[in-house]
Structure formats: C-alpha cells, structure tokens
Amino acid sequence: MSILNERIRKSLKNRLWREDIFRRDNYQCVFCSSVGGKLNADHIKPFSVIIRDNNIRTFEEAMLCDELWDRDNGRTLCYDCHKKTETHGNKKKY
C-alpha cells in the first residue's frame, strides 16, 4: 500500500465514513445478514479506481474528493463476504 493510500485509510474522514456505513446498514452484512464480528466498509466502486479516476495525488485532494466519501458507494460486508467480492485484494484489475 502506498503511503498516500495508508494515510487516507487512517484519516479521521475515513473512520467517519466507515462508521456512517456501518450505522446505516445496522452493523449487518448486506450480503449474508450476519451481525457484528469482523465487518468491512467496502467501496462498491473500488477505492483504488476512485483515486485513479480522480487523479488524486495528495492527501488534501483525497479529502476534497466527494466520490471517495459518497455513502451511496459504500456497503457493510462481513469479512467472509468481502473476500468473495471480485475486487477484494485487487483481484480484478481495472
């Protein structure tokens, strides 16, 4: 992971986005309906694609990118369901 990606993922704005997604989905996986456990807030359009498509080069640009923080582009997944998505771990190259 690049330093920029790590900094974005550790940011307060990212933590708040994740909390918003979890709260909206009632801390429940949208695929299998499991509650609690190891949950992931997943970008439907992948994080890396948003960074690339918006030509984000700095932390400041990332903080201002509305698409990156769009709640409609997020979903709560349990760890097992997240692993099954076609984009988990950069399985699908864009």
pLDDT at 93 over 80: no
Q: What is the pLDDT of residues 57-87, one digit of tens each?
A: 999 999 999 999 999 999 999 999 999 998 8
Q: How confident is the model at residue 88 (pLDDT cuts 50, 70, 90)?
A: confident
With the C-alpha atoms ordered 48, 2, 9, 84, is the resulting torsion angle positive or negative?
Answer: positive
Q: What is the pLDDT of residues 13-59, one digit of tens each?
A: 999 999 999 999 999 999 999 998 899 999 999 999 999 999 999 99
Q: Are 41 and 21 in contact (CB under 8 A)?
A: yes
pLDDT at 8 over 70: yes
pTM, full prediction = 0.87
Q: Are 64 and 8 in contact (CB under 8 A)?
A: no
d(CA 15, CA 13): 6
d(CA 67, CA 31): 23
Tokens of 29: 């996986």
